[in-house]
Amino acid sequence: MQTRSDTYRSWVIGELLLFALLGSSTAFLALSSSLDGYALPEARLALDTAFAVFATIVAILAAVRFRVEGRLMDLLVAAAFFASGLAAFAFRVVPLLGGEQLGPEEAWAAICVELAGTAVLAAAPFVHRRIASRRNALAISAGAVIVAVPTIWLVITAVGAGQPLEGPSGVRTAWSTLVFGLLALLALVALIGFGLRFRRYGRDLDSWFALALTLIVFADLHYLLTPVISSGYVLQGDFLRLLSYGVLLVGVWRAISEAEFGRAVAEERARIAREIHDGLAQYLFAISTSVSMLEAGAVLDDILPRLKKASAAAQQEARFAVLALSSASGTAPFDAALRRYVDFLTADGALDVEVEIDPSVRLDADEQIEIFRIVQEGLANARKHAEARHAEVLIAQRAGRRTVVVRDDGAGFEVDDEPAGQGLRNMRLRAASIEGGFSLRSQPGVGTAIEVVLRT
């Protein structure tokens, strides 16, 4: 089995080989004066459109991953590529749609936004925080980008900084050389940062980012060495940048899939823990208590019926959990399991429970187990805490919606004053897990009613 160190070593070797290949090809093209590009205005417009679309897609995928895991790194990546995509569309695509040439203000605005976005991308691998309020953070960052992009264009236009990228003789100006050099340097910093993250955490996404940034570094070097930058030319660096976006799309998509899988595993673990706590653990505790009573000298004839009931209920719990988690549908197994539980709960006569289930109401497999647990928790609370004498369980259709009601005549309480216990939180979580609405009504001396409205 390959260890993390072996994986990192293989990645380093691959990066060095890629650097050698791209470096040698770049040097050959520069020395042979083959970096002039090709005069293809229509292809230039198509490439800029592709850059805008791909950058926006990468930003959306990074934002989705941020919503899943809440990493600040993903938020910065999303902001950087959203800015690049917005600038490419606003300053490189829209001005050319009318058949006009790209003006110096638009060209410089696009480059400056690209520079700012690359700076943000270079900072992304060095932050390790998580953000709790993810929706607000996404909204703020998107708003900041939407405001910043036109602001940069307005500043360049106002101060008259939009000078041509090339001098009168076609030689690149010092400012344009400096900017393209900074772009390559910032991309290299980002590459190193994601390489270090990959070495530290071994996450697949970091290696994909590093690969894409390797291509971007050499794309920026091609732009730096290319004597002509024009809206009518297609350059060799454009193909490297296009390839880098393809690598980014694959890498971020794979990372989202892994994050969703990890979240599903975590949710499944939490659900299984609730199943054990709410179901089998209760009956196993009853069996253990009965055995302890026997060891203390209790009469076997008094304890044996309790042991039989508890063991039978534990077996039923296991059978029902397996059945409800399978793909089987229908309510007959659910009805039988619920009525057996009610019979077990009311065997000592302390609580009377009336169960009414509309045969036309059908519950999905995932709904069966969660509704069973909600009813179980509600009846247990009515018996232990509310000291109710009578309770009813109603599963029926109301105004075209499937509803589940658990009502008792216990002590009740003021809902606003009652702190939410673990049992109530579990019921809310269970209802939410099956996309159901949960409501609680209670009054002192009147009783408590729990209602779950199931998805349509």
- The answer on pLDDT for 406 being more than 60 is yes
pLDDT tens for 414-433 read: 776 555 566 788 888 888 88
Report the range out of 35-44, 115-124, 149-158 with the highest average pLDDT: 115-124
Provide the pLDDT for residue 446: 85
- Give the global pTM: 0.58
Whole-number percent of the chain with pLDDT over 70? 80
Provide the pLDDT for residue 171: 43
- The answer on pLDDT for 326 being more than 60 is no
d(CA 394, CA 380): 16
The whole-chain average pLDDT of the chain stands at: 80
Provide the pLDDT for residue 75: 93
pLDDT tens for 205-254 read: 888 899 999 999 998 888 888 755 556 677 778 888 888 888 888 887 77
Provide the pLDDT for residue 327: 34
Whole-number percent of the chain with pLDDT over 90? 23
Burial code (b: 16+ CB inside 10 Å, e: under 16) for 251-262 equals: bbbebbebbeee
Which of 254, 251, 255, 235 is CA-nearest to residue 51? 235
- The answer on pLDDT for 139 being more than 80 is yes
List the end-to-end C-alpha distance of the chain, in Å, as a whole number: 48
pLDDT tens for 39-61 read: 777 777 888 888 889 899 889 88
Provide the pLDDT for residue 299: 78
Provide the pLDDT for residue 119: 95
Q: What is the DSSP letter of 250?
A: H
- The answer on pLDDT for 405 being more than 90 is yes
Provide the pLDDT for residue 412: 84
C-alpha triplet 417, 421, 422: angle, nearest 5°: 165
Provide the pLDDT for residue 355: 92
- The answer on pLDDT for 277 being more than 90 is no
In this structure, the number of other CB atoms found within 10 A of the CB of residue 17 comes to 10
Give one DSSP letter per residue of 307-322, joined into a string.
HHHHHHHHHHHHHHHH
d(CA 24, CA 33): 14
Structure tokens at 221: 């070097």
Quickly state the pLDDT bin for 72 (edges 50, 70, 90): very high
Give one DSSP letter per residue of 190-211, joined into a string.
HHHHHHHHHHHH--HHHHHHHH
pLDDT tens for 253-276 read: 777 766 555 555 455 555 555 555
d(CA 313, CA 301): 19
Quickly state the pLDDT bin for 332 (edges 50, 70, 90): very low
Q: For the residues 188-210, what does the mean pLDDT come to?
A: 89
- Cα dihedral 195, 201, 206, 210 in deg (nearest 10): 10
pLDDT tens for 298-324 read: 777 777 787 777 777 776 666 555 544
Structure tokens at 322: 């397996």
Please say whether the beta carbons of 205 and 257 come within 8 A: no
Provide the pLDDT for residue 201: 82
Quickly state the pLDDT bin for 403 (edges 50, 70, 90): very high
- The answer on pLDDT for 18 being more than 60 is yes
Provide the pLDDT for residue 417: 54
Q: For the residues 123-146, what does the mean pLDDT come to?
A: 90
- The answer on pLDDT for 410 being more than 80 is yes
